[in-house]
Amino acid sequence: MYANRQLGLQEQGQKVLVCLSPHPPVRQRRLNSCISDAFYRELFMNPCLSGWDHGEKKHEYMHICHQVLSRSHLNATAKLYEAGIITRNLVVLPNTSNISLANNGTHISLGSSILTTIRGNAGSGFGLKEEKYLSDLVVKIVEHFLPLLVTTYGAAPYRLDFSDFHPEKVLGFLPHQLDYSHLRQLWRLWKAKASIKCFGRPITPFGPAWLDRLVSLALRLKGDYLSDFRLMDYLASLLSTERSPALNGVPGNLEKTRTDLAHLGVFDPSMSFYLLFKPREFDQIGFFGFEARHQSLFESFYDDLGRCAEMLNLIILLAVKYVMSGHVTHSIIPDSPYVESERRQIVFGTAAGISSFFVRADTPNLFLRAMIEKTSGVAPKQEVPTISEGHEPRIPKDTSADAPC
């Protein structure tokens, strides 16, 4: 709008059109596949200066992010082979340059004026340790409710062609975000849902582009439509390591997790830890609150974004109430990569349009088991605990395998 008026573009018969888009242009994707990662960073790195006082530092930070994510995406292919999803030696390796940083999302930060005041009072008894315990536990509780918001408020619609259904390409960063068992389940359900079946059996592309196009035309394979492709194509939530939980309520845990992930070639210790929903630390930001990072594009700022913020605020209040009342503790939601993956798989499955998921009947996540007890459409129905007034959930005696929801 500034260019149209102040630079006289409208007077010369020109007009700049500005729109919000969660996806980078298709031609930018094609160019990215033809050039090196260093050249791509020189051409297209967006400094994203919002909230930064020093633009040069943020520009350098974005370069580090692109370099790390590009290599991390390439390393994810080895995990797909270890998980048994890639079963043949012929694979289409992802490009060394990754375009996921151009996927635009919307972050919503919500703070508490009461808890901020208490946290700022040195004599209140609510210091760094208490803040860390509360915020990490609230994050774990809220993650169970995030599927309510995915594709309900905010989306990133996208259609994938049959030739795009190479697991090493469409699964993106999911090997770094889900346990192998949940990754295999998601891939199996996704293939069953997509239009890539021949005689009732799903098939995936073979590799050569000309062969994939021929098979797609001959068998009328259309691919699939995703409601929120950004969550599937972006490193949205890192999985903790076995020895370094990211949300166990202990100060300094994120530094240990980042270091472990750096040794595995997944992340960089200098980068902010990626989570779907993360705390806003008082010592760094100046207030006590949380930031939701799972939203993609909103149809309306006033209606959709506003309603999303209201719903998110309600969920946070519920989580804080559970923690403050003592009904939910860190022991009820254990800190292990499997438990993290089990609750986050629902978010990614919802983004892909998958209507079912699997939860172990003997899962150590008692909070999730209590939620399933109140949910209809669970098969088979199991005897599970409930979170009741003055009672902590009990571990059920049934230890059968997976129960689909």
- Same domain for 385 and 262, yes or no, is no
**Calpha distance 94→170 (Å, rounded):** 10
On whether residue 148 sits in a domain, the answer given is: yes
Residue type, 227: S
- Same domain for 237 and 372, yes or no, is no
On whether residue 1 sits in a domain, the answer given is: no
CB-CB contact of 294 with 276 (8 Å)? yes
What pLDDT does 51 receive? 64
**Calpha distance 319→65 (Å, rounded):** 32
Any bridge partners for residue 159, and if so which? 225
On whether residue 16 sits in a domain, the answer given is: no
- Same domain for 309 and 364, yes or no, is no
Neighbouring C-beta atoms of residue 207, cutoff 10 Å: 13
CB-CB contact of 167 with 93 (8 Å)? no
How does pLDDT run across 161-220, given as a tens digit for each residue?
998 888 888 998 999 999 999 999 999 999 999 999 888 888 888 877 788 888 888 888
On whether residue 127 sits in a domain, the answer given is: yes
- Same domain for 73 and 138, yes or no, is yes
Q: How many CA atoms lie within 13 A of 160 on its CB side?
A: 30
- Same domain for 274 and 365, yes or no, is no
Which of 328, 324, 317, 326 lies closest to 385 in space, CA to CA? Answer: 328
How does pLDDT run across 217-235, given as a tens digit for each residue?
888 889 999 999 999 999 9
- What percentage of the chain carries pLDDT values higher than 90? 49
What pLDDT does 61 receive? 87
- Same domain for 144 and 188, yes or no, is yes
On whether residue 396 sits in a domain, the answer given is: yes
Total tally of structural domains belonging to the chain: 2
- Same domain for 168 and 198, yes or no, is yes
- Same domain for 93 and 40, yes or no, is yes
On whether residue 333 sits in a domain, the answer given is: no
What pLDDT does 386 receive? 41
pLDDT at residue 32 is higher than 80 = yes
- Same domain for 131 and 215, yes or no, is yes
On whether residue 142 sits in a domain, the answer given is: yes
Least confident of 129-138, 186-195, 297-306, 394-403: 394-403
Which range marks the domain in which residue 394 is found? 356-405
Written as six digits, the tokens of 403 are 């129960």
- Same domain for 138 and 106, yes or no, is yes
Task: Give the residue-averaged pLDDT of 238-262.
Answer: 93
On whether residue 15 sits in a domain, the answer given is: no
- Same domain for 150 and 225, yes or no, is yes
- Same domain for 392 and 315, yes or no, is no
58, 61, 65, 71 alpha-carbon torsion, rounded to 10°: 150
- Rounded to two decimals, what is the model's pTM? 0.87
DSSP symbols for 45-81 = -----TT-S-HHHHHHHHHHHHHHHHHHHHHHHHHHH
The dihedral through the CA atoms of 360, 383, 352, 313 has a sign that is negative
